Amino acid sequence: MGQPANTLNPTEAWQPLPATEWNEAAARHLLQRIGFSATPTELARVLADGPAKSVERYFARMPALPKPRQIADLETDGPELYRNMAGGSPEARRMAQQAARERSREALFDLTIKWLQLASRPENSPAEKWLLFLSDVWVVGADKVKNSALIYQHQDYIRKFALGTAPNLAKLMSRSPAMIVYLDLQQSKPEAPNENFARELFELFTLGEGHYTENDIKQAARAFTGYRQRQGEFAFVQRQHDNGRKTVFGQSGNFTGDDVINLVFKQKAAGTFLPRQMVSFYLSEAPLPAEQTDALGAWWAGEGYDLRKLAVKFFTSRVFFAPAYRDGYIKSPIQFYLGLVQDLGLSVAPLPRQLIGSLRSMGQMPFDPPNVRGWVGGRSWINSATLSARRQLIQALLSPLNEDALNGDEQIEIAAAYADGISNFTLDQARLAEWAKLPPADRARELVKRYVPDLAGTELERQVSTFLERSAQHSQAAAATRAALATLLESPNYQLC
């Protein structure tokens, strides 16, 4: 589009950033793209460590997400819930179905909050964003899977191989009970292979359109027959598996699903597919020049499709830091929310109703992407409805929590958090009062520098100052400061990173 393209040749593109080009702006870019924001603490550390050491540190291991209590309860009660749904009068079955759905929904909320809490810790953010990226490739949706225990398990499977190899991840994904339900492998059998999984495996998970034929899909679907999930465990049912000869990508044999995945990773497109997805998730809506992704793909295939190595190579490369890709990327709703939490020094509130409602209206309901393609991202995040939702979220995070408006369960959650010493769910009003003591011009400079540093010293900073001056006369300095801060966070610049 209008951005200057990067002009690196394919070899230079993936070389490490020269030390001479490492500075605070580069460190900020790194943090905002691999994580959710550049907090002062992480910025100082990363700046001192340099990109290679920092990225190695962030991708040393995946953080663990302990099984949320409601997910565990759902697993325990699962057999009984299924029994209730299977027997009794139609009315009783309907009630049981509704009860199971409700349980699953609440467990999903519990999972969402626990995951956001984990991801909001700056030291975890890059690994958890990487997990979000891989989940946006290997998509399952809670709405269709209808069992949040499987959704947790699916994320846990990705976590297991997120820093392993792509073929191993792919094989585990084909065995993920959530995936088996989501893409209809559960009913796929020799006399009626269901093509849904095989199609998306090629189109959306590993190769991309144009790199397979309809016949490859039909044949591959036969190889995945007999994949089942039984009460949340993978089961391979031999008598439902088509043992016959299949021809996929020109190769013939009595292929199993794993054989098909091995064949997938013999295709050239398998090397470039994930790097291209990384570019669009992390770097730019416009693809990189094909020679650059081809070079990375060939290198990556030679490294046995090692995901950790790919991440390190990508996030330390010259092309990642190229001027063309600085500051112009639209934050996803999850990044926008977690970035606000980090920038404002907050904790994720254990209030699913408010939090999930806000993420949904901004267009990104965690664990429930619109379809198997995942979230499209980029400009599609921004329209008048989602912008209005972003503004509402900011207003909520800047105002004291209205505990009277919470329902009973929520009050219990908040009380428990207070008992653990966590109460910073919205902006500390004492901090506002401190800011309000500064003269308007200094206050404007401080707010701009902190939240939209690329606007420091501009006409806009002066406008903020004027706005603050006007309210100073009405002894409403704290309220004016809050309004000014809200406006900076609502500004076009804060939507970008």
Site residues (CB under 8 A) for another protein?
A: 1-3, 184, 186-189, 191-192, 194-196, 199, 203, 209, 285, 327-330, 361, 363, 370-373, 376, 379-380, 382-389, 391-392, 395, 452, 454-455, 458-460, 463-464, 466-467, 470, 483-484, 486-488, 490-493, 495-496
CB of 29 to another protein, least distance (A): 12
What six digits make up the tokens of 152? 């947790």
Contact assessment for residue 240 and residue 189, using Cβ atoms and an 8 Å cutoff: yes
Q: For the chain, state the CA radius of gyration.
A: 25
Residue whose CB is less far from another protein, 70 or 225: 225
Q: 441 or 496: whose CB is closer to another protein?
A: 496
| Rounded Cα distance, 447 and 469, in Å | 14
Judged by beta carbon, residue 1 or residue 430, the one nearer another protein is 1
C-beta closer to another protein: residue 191 or 420: 191
Least Å distance, CB 484 to another protein, is: 7
DSSP labels for 386-439?
HHHHHHHHHHHHHS---GGGS-HHHHHHHHHHHHTT---SS--HHHHHHHHTS-
Separation CA 352–CA 9 (nearest Å) = 48
Closest to 495 measured CA to CA, from 360, 351, 337: 337
C-alpha distances in Å from residue 100, one per residue of 94, 97, 366: 10, 5, 20
Looking at the Cβ atoms of 352 and 363, the one nearer to another protein is 363
Which residue in this structure is represented by tokens 């190579």? Answer: 313
CA 276-383-115 angle, 5° bins: 60
**Number of helices followed by number of strands (H, E) in the chain:** 25, 4
- Which one, 314 or 494, has the nearer CB to another protein? 494
What minimum distance in Å lies between the beta carbon of 309 and another protein? 30
Distances (CA, A) of 494 to 39, 245, 317: 14, 56, 25
Closest to another protein by CB, 9 vs 395, is 395
